[in-house]
Structure 1
Amino acid sequence: MIPFDFEYYQPASIAEAVQLYNDLQQNGKAPMYYGGGTEIITMARNSSIKTQAVIDIKQIPECQQLETKGQSLIIGAAVTLTAIAEANPFPLLTQAGSRVADHSVQNKITLGGNVCGTIIYHEAVLPLLLADSEVCISGINESRTESIHTVFDQQMRLNNGELVVQFKIPLEYTSLPHWHVKKTKLEKIDYPLITLCALKKDGAIRIALSGACSFPFRGRAMEKALNQPGEDLSKRVAQALQQLPGPLQDTVAGSSNYRRFVLGNLLEDAIDGLEG
């Protein structure tokens, strides 16, 4: 049970949604956009967040798109992980999304919710980073399309009141050789000890990770080490581990030393698999 009352709105257009947000905020309602609602409900129940108004975006047509247009795959922010898996237009994204939660919860978790939420893992963003995706964003004054590398830096960086509407993925990336693996402490479905996604494009391997550091990232410096021609694989992996963008997490789920050990093995398997 959520221990506070709130107003519920279900706009039918982007313009209506962002205007609602602006009006509600001016009235001190601390509004929140709502897709699947799994994170909002969980955090509200344990009093981690409080709002007086939620804006449900599921009735906005653009937020529900899942289609190919030109040379891009368009996925709306309110499309669930289950819908993505059933359509399977981007197998690496399907694999990453299918391990975020059990199937019943995947029916509610949306792509936008996983990418934009406050839980630090954001596993569904990893394929989007590797595929040089774009993010369609709308606010009260403008709509814009940005590279995901511009707006996602450890977490999604949005201006106040902005709504993520869609993700645009270049079609060429959706059929590339890829690799996905998730290691957890105990259960198949859990927060990751390490989640690794990889794509091979133009002979070079791209790597994105969640769970290693306290934020998800594409490891561009790691990629340089891993793609050195002629070098022994174990040496490349050792050099890549020196190029992490932050300290390895040290938690009850796994110490930093253990994560380093696991990550080293996962990198070797991924490179061996994609180069083999």
Structure 2
Amino acid sequence: MVQTDIEYYKPKSLKEAIELFYQLKHENKQPIYYSGGTEIITFRRLNLIHTGAVIDIKGIPECMTHELDANFLITGAALPLTFLEEKNFFPLLSKTSQGVADYTARNKITLGGNICGQIFYREAVLPFLLTDSLCVIAGHEGVKSLPIHMVYNQTLNLSEGQLLVQLITEKSYLEMPYLSIKKRQQWETGYPLITFAALKKDDHVRVSFSGLCPFPFRSLEVERELNNQEVSINERIDNSIKYLPSPILHDIEGSKEYRLFVYKNTMMDVLIELEEK
């Protein structure tokens, strides 16, 4: 059963949200920020999250922004994945997020909730890693815009009291050739085995992954090997495996050996298709 003795707050500004967090922390209520709430509910049921107060960020205008101007796309962290799919300003994000759970769940799952979640798939971060996006982060020291590669390492590294407000992506990336491929072992729904997101920029293929290792990632070393035109595609793929940032996952969704098989075959398809564009 989910306990109901949780205080609920819905601030209307970033300043109010941050002040609330520290006030509730001082009162030993272990506050957490809340947008879609799907993961919070799931982990509360499993007794893996303990909190006495949630701070709903959907009342904060900056967290609900979705604007495309001449140079940038600004995407609020509290927007549901289905909203982003329907607007489709960022096709690679739309395609990648479509495989996150089912449509009903994605009505609740938000961009920031997926990126900052504890479940290791977190596919929504993959397009932002490929496009060198900026993360707008609010905290006790104010609001900062930081390159995603500065604050993301296996997970989004936020300090206590900080929250992800927006992601900012250069418009030029939205028009580049891309692929998003989600491989499952046998079902059309449910958790994927591996998700591949790829983008071609200046004749260089960028690739990010979810489900291959215990965290989503983009590796410049892996990309270097995959783009080495001096050797065959098979050699490039084999060489890239040496630079994976952790051992390949081995779990109920699929063995290490099967994931490796899927990686090799899918990367072959990705490289052949994008290099022709």
TM-score, with length taken from structure 2: 0.97
Unaligned runs of 5+ in 1: none
Measure, in 1, the Cα distance between the counterparts of 2:151 and 2:269: 31
Deviation, structure 1 residue 231:
2.2
| Structure 1 residues 153-172: aligned runs within 5 Å | 153-172=153-172
Measure, in 1, the Cα distance between the counterparts of 2:138 and 2:161: 9
Deviation, structure 1 residue 140:
1.9
Deviation, structure 1 residue 189:
2.2
- Secondary structure (helix, strand or coil) at the match of 1:205 reads strand
Provide the residue aligned with 2:248 in structure 1: 248
| Structure 1 residues 94-113: aligned runs within 5 Å | 94-113=94-113
Q: Are residues 1:184 and 2:184 paired?
A: yes
- Report how many residues are paired: 276
Deviation, structure 1 residue 207:
0.6
Deviation, structure 1 residue 69:
3.5
- Secondary structure (helix, strand or coil) at the match of 1:159 reads coil
Deviation, structure 1 residue 50:
1.5
Deviation, structure 1 residue 230:
3.9
Deviation string 1:107-159 (CA, Å, 9 cap, x unpaired) is 11100000011111110000000000000011122211111111110011011
Deviation string 1:169-225 (CA, Å, 9 cap, x unpaired) is 111111110011111222222222111100000000001001011111002111111
Measure, in 2, the Cα distance between the counterparts of 1:62 and 1:101: 26
Deviation string 1:33-85 (CA, Å, 9 cap, x unpaired) is 00011100111122111210000011111000011144110000101100100
Provide the residue aligned with 2:17 in structure 1: 17
Deviation, structure 1 residue 101:
1.1
Provide the residue aligned with 1:62 in structure 2: 62
Give the superposed CA RMSD.
Answer: 1.0
Provide the residue aligned with 2:193 in structure 1: 193
- Secondary structure (helix, strand or coil) at the match of 2:59 reads coil
Provide the residue aligned with 2:212 in structure 1: 212
Q: Which amino acid aligns with 1:209?
A: F
Measure, in 2, the Cα distance between the counterparts of 1:124 and 1:197: 10
Q: Which amino acid aligns with 1:92?
A: L
Provide the residue aligned with 1:133 in structure 2: 133
Give me the identity figure in percent: 45
Q: Which amino acid aligns with 1:261?
A: F
Provide the residue aligned with 1:264 in structure 2: 264
Q: Please tell me whether the aligned partners of residues 209 and 219 of structure 1 are also in contact (alpha carbons under 8 angstroms).
A: no
Provide the residue aligned with 2:73 in structure 1: 73
Q: Which amino acid aligns with 2:221?
A: A
Measure, in 2, the Cα distance between the counterparts of 1:160 and 1:104: 31
Provide the residue aligned with 1:37 in structure 2: 37
Q: Please tell me whether the aligned partners of residues 241 and 264 of structure 1 are also in contact (alpha carbons under 8 angstroms).
A: no
Q: Are residues 1:174 and 2:174 paired?
A: yes
Measure, in 1, the Cα distance between the counterparts of 2:135 and 2:49: 26
Worse-superposed segment, 73-82 or 253-262: 253-262
Unaligned runs of 5+ in 2: none
Deviation string 1:227-266 (CA, Å, 9 cap, x unpaired) is 1124211111111122211100111211111111110011
Deviation, structure 1 residue 4:
4.2
Measure, in 2, the Cα distance between the counterparts of 1:189 and 1:60: 33
Worse-superposed segment, 103-112 or 248-257: 248-257
Q: Which amino acid aligns with 2:174?
A: T
Worse-superposed segment, 89-98 or 61-70: 61-70
Measure, in 1, the Cα distance between the counterparts of 2:28 and 2:187: 42
The list of structure 1 runs, each at least 4 consecutive aligned residues, that deviate by more than 3 angstroms after superposition, is none
Provide the residue aligned with 2:116 in structure 1: 116
Q: Which amino acid aligns with 1:102?
A: D
